[in-house]
Structure 1
Amino acid sequence: MNEIIVSEMKLEHIDEVYNIFINSLKVKWSIEDLKKELENKLARYFVALQNEKVLGFGGMWVIFDEAHITNVAVHPDHRRSGIGNLIFKDMYKFCADNNIIGITLEVRENNLTAQNFYKNLGFSVEGRRKKYYQDTGEDAIIMWNRSL
């Protein structure tokens, strides 16, 4: 098996990222939404690649000295194989290289698997957004990692 590398997302990755997106996340974006993120000066997106095939991706917006995770997903066939950790490792490196002091995200209150994954990456619960998710009315748990 060839090595998995993480690099910045490019336009050539959009179709595969979109496929992972629609098969992994409840909130749906269009391909155009993803293309706009590549043009967004605040956004940074990373892809995990093996043999030039996208296995997962992660994105964040960088605002001053903080980062906000927008999306993270791994292809269903490759979950629980460490790819999410690799993506976060590169996002953390980007943050360290750019003097980012904290990184935050929202996660569905019922998604305990994701919450535990983020806790293992150094995130802790700091708040709640009531009825944040329009599709279900679920609350969002706000998590931060301030020890980058």
Structure 2
Amino acid sequence: MSAPLDLHFREMVPDDADAVELVEKACFAIPWSRESFWREAANENTSYTLALDGTRVIGYAGCWISFEEAQITNVAILPAYRGQGVGTRLMAAVIEAVKARGVTAMTLEVRPSNAPARALYARYGFEEAGVRRGYYHDNGEDAIIMWNTKL
């Protein structure tokens, strides 16, 4: 049996860009760059929450904030840490972070093929609201638009 996680969460800062880029590259076919994460962390209209196991960044979730709405841009958990409740706890931390900034509604896009993510978002009150045709550049897959308007 592996050691229990020393799981905790904190806001991303620009110095975290290298560690976040490693998670991004492990999770996505077309990853964002380190520079993109540095800019996002420095932007006052974003909120990025890191999941850490001790001092190691093992996941993150990011949002763009516009007035009372947040658009989730990315959610990623290192493959070795999936299925251990990290995503569930990370979503709770992200929602609390944006609510503290006055957000009352959140939206996101998710692949129809990503059943675990869709189930996670549904547990947090997100409901399907539409489809973006051919949204994902790597394979042309559609995206399901989901909203939670009852934060």
The TM tier, using the shorter chain, reads over 0.9
Query: Which residue of 1 is the match for residue 98 of structure 2?
Result: 95
* RMSD, matched Cα: 1.4
Query: 1 CA distance for matches of 2:13 and 2:42?
Result: 10
Query: Which residue of 2 is the match for residue 28 of structure 1?
Result: 31
Query: Which residue of 2 is the match for residue 75 of structure 1?
Result: 78
**Which sits farther off after the overlay, 68-77 or 1-10?**
1-10
Structure 2 unmatched ranges of 5 or more? none
Structure 1 unmatched ranges of 5 or more? none
Q: How far is the alpha carbon of 1:109 from its aligned partner? A: 2.1
Query: Which residue of 2 is the match for residue 104 of structure 1?
Result: 107
Query: Is contact 2:134–2:142 with CA below 8 Å preserved after alignment?
Result: yes
Which stretches of structure 1, 4 residues or longer, exceed 3 Å deviation after superposition? none
Matched length:
148
Query: 1 CA distance for matches of 2:7 and 2:116?
Result: 23
Q: Sequence identity, in percent? A: 36
- For normalisation by structure 2, the TM-score amounts to 0.90
- The SS at the match of 1:105 is strand
Write out per-residue CA displacement over residues 20-75 of structure 1, whole angstroms, 9 at most, x where no aligned residue: 11111233111111111112221111111122111111100010100000101111
- The SS at the match of 2:118 is helix
- For normalisation by structure 1, the TM-score amounts to 0.92
Query: 2 CA distance for matches of 1:2 and 1:117?
Result: 20
Q: 1:140 aligns with which of 127, 137, 143?
A: 143
- The SS at the match of 1:47 is strand
Query: 1 CA distance for matches of 2:79 and 2:106?
Result: 25
**Which sits farther off after the overlay, 53-62 or 8-17?**
8-17
Verify: 1:65 aligned to 2:68, yes or no.
yes
User: Would the alpha carbon gap of residues 2 and 112 (structure 1) be closer, same or farther in structure 2, given more than 3 Å must change?
Assistant: closer
